[in-house]
Chain A
Amino acid sequence: MGNGLAGTTLRVNLTTGEITRQPTDEELTRRWHGGRGVIAKILYDEVPRDADPLGPENVFIINSGIMSGCFIPAGAKVEFGSISPLTNGHGDSNMGGHLGPMLKFAGYDMIIFTGASPKPVFIYIDNDTVELRDASGYWGMGSLDCEAKLKKDLGEDFEIATIGPAAENGVLFSCITHDFGRQAGRTGQGTVMGSKKLKAIVVRGNRSIKVHDIESLTKQVSDIILRTQKHPNMEPWQKYGTSFFLKWSNDNAVLPSYNFKTTYYDDIDKVDGDQLIEKCLITHKACFGCWMNCGKYSKAVIPGKPEVHLEGPEYETGALCGPNIGMKDINHVAYINWMLDNYGMDTMSGGGVIAFAMECFERGLITEKDLEGHTLKWGSIDDVEHFVDMVANRRGIGEVFSQGTKRAAEKIGRGSEKFAMQVKGQEMSGYDGRWAPGMLLSYMTADIGAHHNRAWTITVDIAEGRETTEGRAKIVVYLQHIRPLFDTWCICRLFWGELDITPEEIVDSLNHITGWGITFDEALKTSEMIWNLTRCHYIERNKNNGRTFDYPPARSWEDKIPSGPGKGKGVTKEQVEQLLDDYYAARGWDNKGNPTREVLEDLQLGSAADNLEKAGFLGEPVEGGIPAVRGEKYKPKAF
């Protein structure tokens, strides 16, 4: 009888090349649940507060979680974490595919990389064989090209994650790529790998994962799979993946277009899911153990350019590298997707950066002279191709944009901060929150910057009123506890929202795997503990009251939506302040956005309270004490 763990944790000192093995800490896992949770704890404990995210003191962690690979629907995630060079706070990002399960089949739950290698290396894992190997022959290769070459050199049955030239060059929003199109895109985890000269992770294994109760698990999961095969969302999901959502977002006035100037795209029919399936699809593609196959393996065919293969564009890339930069041909969106993938840049931040640069060009803040004689016009594939090459190689003005929109706006100035669409240095996902106040609050308060995976509230905003901020903070807090749980367990979240599989069912699966016997409410409390720890960590590192970091760019309240079904709509600055007031109250933090000792001690985070106090940012005691919402299950009507 097992507990879902593979059993071994590796520590790899990249500076010295020393590799040590230790039994995976079961007590740590029980408390922090693996994945994002364990990563948050280790980063908090081990990275000095003044460490440069791109220096050897940063710690880079791969964790395959407690449920990944365990015959769980969509149970294929692997979590990466380190201090983010974009946000300078706790950073994590995950990907699907097959790497997480394979790491466990090789016998490993986690790899903790410290230091920095003096020369390019990759880590080679084949069951008991764990080696750092010379990667100088692969350095400089595109992410996708490198994966193909490593498979050719080592064997098709290895699962491989790579970084591209952008990460090697220090582009801050670089990603990690796997399975020819799955990415851990956010928070610059690829950049951290690049700073450590770690080009790739190569894994093969043939061990079994032992779980607590294989019979109950098999029966439960088989029943879920057979039940959901008939769910009405299954067919569109299998056909389109997330790309069907572009039209929905457009109809509901949340689709970012032209660098979030508006939320309606006139040319949506040229870049939506139907176009993707009709013109680009090669094959449907699934992660390990997933029956929803949201991956769309595609080709981009453009006269005068090589035909390229890629996975996507899924919703986020489709939105941010489509309408948000004015593209009017799905092949062009797919080509940009491939370019960013192979250079190894996050397509979400990448799309945001291109859009921001396009608006700078439109406003004359950058010129053809800055762009080596090229223009940078909305919808121009050739302009984008040249610009992306400048960014990936940090050449000329590309150096400025390679640091993300926040830092680029600080350099460019002249009012550009207003339309640098980011929070805490991380570019926004593919939803505009101006007329979806819960979504805007989600971006403002997410611990890794403006990313939608912490809380996505648009259906709730629509159901409960888009003009009002009332009740939104509680929903955001609740979702910020439930959604990151999936990243903690290293399973995909999509089947929960799309196929009506309940969180309680997932906790049942967790118990069949681990034997923990916990409830969903207990899991939520663990998630809240993780959330408070990453908040303390962020404040300690960035040395100011939490509230100062939680504001979106001024476009979010100064510019009303100019076109489409949301015309004239948008939150006010007063509403933005109200959202924050309500949010801190819902969390039991003080009005400066700092966690209080009372809340932290209730979550067994007393030492974090001590540290925050020493840093001078412990929250003032809040009248009324701990708010009820923290333990209360607030179920949004629209879910």
Chain B
Amino acid sequence: MRIKVNKDNCTGCRLCMQICAIEHFSEINPKKAALRIEAKFPDPGKYKPIVCILCGKCEEACPEKAISKSDTGAYVVDKEKCTNCGECIAVCPVDVIFQHPDLDHVIKCDLCMKCTELCNTDAIVKWEKPEAAAVKEAHNG
């Protein structure tokens, strides 16, 4: 399972970021979301949702073995083990692992799929059975 991005559909509303933070922290705060929206304005004038691509580099980089692959395929952070050292952030190729001053652990996508439920333009959708070629194309896009 993955999150599929249809980047041309994104309108920059950030509902996905709001619901992500609410789901995981019961707080309204897009800076506690585990995904981000890239906005390029005034030129060319485009949005792009950036989500975890499940590359596993964070798991390899974590010195505390705090990140592991779950049954759904997500690389999940163990908040007890995480020391907030930031090694995973340094290796994330798409910059979707975050720190926040309120927290002593990193924020990372766990594929809960809440973000996909409210997106009204299908800019991010639940991807049940991704094929390798399609994944490559999506990530290169």
Do these two chains interact?
A: yes
Kindly list chain A residues whose C-beta atoms are within 8 Å of the C-beta of B14: 98, 288-289
Cα A285 to Cα B43 in complex, Å, equals 14
Q: Does A233 have its Cβ within 8 Å of any Cβ on chain B?
A: no
Q: Does A222 have its Cβ within 8 Å of any Cβ on chain B?
A: yes
- Asked if A209 and B28 make an inter-chain contact with CB atoms under 8 angstroms apart, the answer reads yes
Contacts of B27-55 to chain A: CB distance below 8 A: 27-32, 39, 41-47
In the assembled complex, the CB of B1 is this many whole angstroms from the nearest CB of chain A, namely 21
Q: Contacts A238-B120, A309-B42: A293 and B13 contacting too (C-beta < 8 A)? A: yes
Looking at chain B, what size class is its interface with the partner chain? 20 to 34
Contacts of A73-92 to chain B: CB distance below 8 A: none
- Asked if B100 and A285 make an inter-chain contact with CB atoms under 8 angstroms apart, the answer reads no
- Asked if B22 and A226 make an inter-chain contact with CB atoms under 8 angstroms apart, the answer reads no
Kindly list chain B residues whose C-beta atoms are within 8 Å of the C-beta of A291: 13, 15, 118, 120
Kindly list chain A residues whose C-beta atoms are within 8 Å of the C-beta of B42: 144, 148, 180, 309
Kindly list chain B residues whose C-beta atoms are within 8 Å of the C-beta of A229: 120
- Asked if B13 and A208 make an inter-chain contact with CB atoms under 8 angstroms apart, the answer reads no
B19, B29, B118, B120: which contacts A206 (Cβ < 8 A)? B29
Kindly list chain A residues whose C-beta atoms are within 8 Å of the C-beta of B39: 156
Residue of A144, A229, A293 most packed against chain B (CB within 10 A): A293
Q: Does B12 have its Cβ within 8 Å of any Cβ on chain A?
A: yes
Chain A, Cβ-Cβ closest to B10? A283
In the assembled complex, the CB of B119 is this many whole angstroms from the nearest CB of chain A, namely 8
B8, B12, B102: which contacts A285 (Cβ < 8 A)? B12
Kindly list chain A residues whose C-beta atoms are within 8 Å of the C-beta of B25: 208
- Asked if B29 and A208 make an inter-chain contact with CB atoms under 8 angstroms apart, the answer reads yes
Contacts of A261-301 to chain B: CB distance below 8 A: 282-293, 295, 297, 299
- Asked if A69 and B118 make an inter-chain contact with CB atoms under 8 angstroms apart, the answer reads no
Cα A179 to Cα B14 in complex, Å, equals 14
Q: Does A24 have its Cβ within 8 Å of any Cβ on chain B?
A: no
Kindly list chain B residues whose C-beta atoms are within 8 Å of the C-beta of A211: 28
Cα A156 to Cα B15 in complex, Å, equals 19
Kindly list chain B residues whose C-beta atoms are within 8 Å of the C-beta of A214: 22, 26-28
Q: Does B101 have its Cβ within 8 Å of any Cβ on chain A?
A: yes
Kindly list chain B residues whose C-beta atoms are within 8 Å of the C-beta of A289: 13-15, 18
Q: Does A207 have its Cβ within 8 Å of any Cβ on chain B?
A: yes
Chain A, Cβ-Cβ closest to B98? A206
Kindly list chain B residues whose C-beta atoms are within 8 Å of the C-beta of A282: 44-46
Q: Does A371 have its Cβ within 8 Å of any Cβ on chain B?
A: no
- Asked if B30 and A105 make an inter-chain contact with CB atoms under 8 angstroms apart, the answer reads yes
Kindly list chain A residues whose C-beta atoms are within 8 Å of the C-beta of B47: 283, 285
Cα A399 to Cα B30 in complex, Å, equals 45
Q: Does A456 have its Cβ within 8 Å of any Cβ on chain B?
A: no
Kindly list chain B residues whose C-beta atoms are within 8 Å of the C-beta of A238: 120-121
Contacts of A322-356 to chain B: CB distance below 8 A: none
- Asked if A208 and B121 make an inter-chain contact with CB atoms under 8 angstroms apart, the answer reads no
Q: Does B11 have its Cβ within 8 Å of any Cβ on chain A?
A: yes
Q: Contacts A282-B45, A309-B42, A309-B45: A105 and B19 contacting too (C-beta < 8 A)? A: no
Interchain pairs with CB closer than 8 A, number: 98
- Asked if A290 and B13 make an inter-chain contact with CB atoms under 8 angstroms apart, the answer reads yes
Q: Contacts A144-B42, A286-B11, A291-B120: A208 and B18 contacting too (C-beta < 8 A)? A: no
Kindly list chain B residues whose C-beta atoms are within 8 Å of the C-beta of A207: 29
Cα A234 to Cα B101 in complex, Å, equals 39
Q: Does A70 have its Cβ within 8 Å of any Cβ on chain B?
A: yes
- Asked if B11 and A283 make an inter-chain contact with CB atoms under 8 angstroms apart, the answer reads yes
- Asked if B29 and A286 make an inter-chain contact with CB atoms under 8 angstroms apart, the answer reads no
Kindly list chain A residues whose C-beta atoms are within 8 Å of the C-beta of B19: 71, 218, 222
In the assembled complex, the CB of B13 is this many whole angstroms from the nearest CB of chain A, namely 4
Q: Does A210 have its Cβ within 8 Å of any Cβ on chain B?
A: yes
Q: Contacts A214-B22, A226-B118: A293 and B32 contacting too (C-beta < 8 A)? A: no
Cα A222 to Cα B12 in complex, Å, equals 18
Kindly list chain A residues whose C-beta atoms are within 8 Å of the C-beta of B22: 71, 214, 218
Kindly list chain B residues whose C-beta atoms are within 8 Å of the C-beta of A215: 26
Chain B, Cβ-Cβ closest to A299? B45
Chain B, Cβ-Cβ closest to A179? B41
Kindly list chain B residues whose C-beta atoms are within 8 Å of the C-beta of A629: none
B28, B101, B121: which contacts A284 (Cβ < 8 A)? B121
Contacts of A368-414 to chain B: CB distance below 8 A: none
Kindly list chain B residues whose C-beta atoms are within 8 Å of the C-beta of A105: 29-31
Q: Does A622 have its Cβ within 8 Å of any Cβ on chain B?
A: no
- Asked if A283 and B13 make an inter-chain contact with CB atoms under 8 angstroms apart, the answer reads no
Contacts of A220-245 to chain B: CB distance below 8 A: 222, 225-226, 229, 234, 238
- Asked if A283 and B15 make an inter-chain contact with CB atoms under 8 angstroms apart, the answer reads no
- Asked if B118 and A208 make an inter-chain contact with CB atoms under 8 angstroms apart, the answer reads no
Q: Contacts A70-B28, A71-B18: A222 and B11 contacting too (C-beta < 8 A)? A: no
Q: Contacts A71-B18, A226-B118: A206 and B101 contacting too (C-beta < 8 A)? A: yes
In the assembled complex, the CB of A465 is this many whole angstroms from the nearest CB of chain B, namely 38
- Asked if B13 and A69 make an inter-chain contact with CB atoms under 8 angstroms apart, the answer reads no
Contacts of B59-79 to chain A: CB distance below 8 A: none
Chain B, Cβ-Cβ closest to A73? B15
- Asked if A293 and B121 make an inter-chain contact with CB atoms under 8 angstroms apart, the answer reads yes
Chain B, Cβ-Cβ closest to A287? B13
- Asked if B45 and A208 make an inter-chain contact with CB atoms under 8 angstroms apart, the answer reads no
Q: Contacts A283-B47, A291-B120, A309-B45: A208 and B11 contacting too (C-beta < 8 A)? A: no
Cα A274 to Cα B18 in complex, Å, equals 33
Chain B, Cβ-Cβ closest to A206? B31
Cα A463 to Cα B125 in complex, Å, equals 42
In the assembled complex, the CB of B49 is this many whole angstroms from the nearest CB of chain A, namely 13
In the assembled complex, the CB of A79 is this many whole angstroms from the nearest CB of chain B, namely 19
Chain A, Cβ-Cβ closest to B41? A180
B13, B21, B29, B118: which contacts A288 (Cβ < 8 A)? B13
In the assembled complex, the CB of B98 is this many whole angstroms from the nearest CB of chain A, namely 10
Chain B, Cβ-Cβ closest to A288? B14
Kindly list chain A residues whose C-beta atoms are within 8 Å of the C-beta of B27: 208-210, 214
Kindly list chain A residues whose C-beta atoms are within 8 Å of the C-beta of B15: 225, 289-291
In the assembled complex, the CB of B8 is this many whole angstroms from the nearest CB of chain A, namely 8
8 A-B pairs within 8 Å (CB atoms) are namely A71-B28, A208-B25, A225-B15, A283-B11, A283-B46, A285-B47, A289-B14, A309-B42
Shortest Cβ-Cβ A-B pairs, 10 listed = A286-B13, A206-B31, A286-B11, A208-B27, A291-B120, A208-B29, A293-B11, A282-B45, A209-B28, A180-B41
* Beyond known contacts A206-B100, A238-B121: 11 more, CB 8 A cutoff: A71-B18, A206-B31, A229-B120, A282-B45, A283-B45, A285-B47, A286-B12, A290-B15, A297-B41, A299-B45, A309-B45
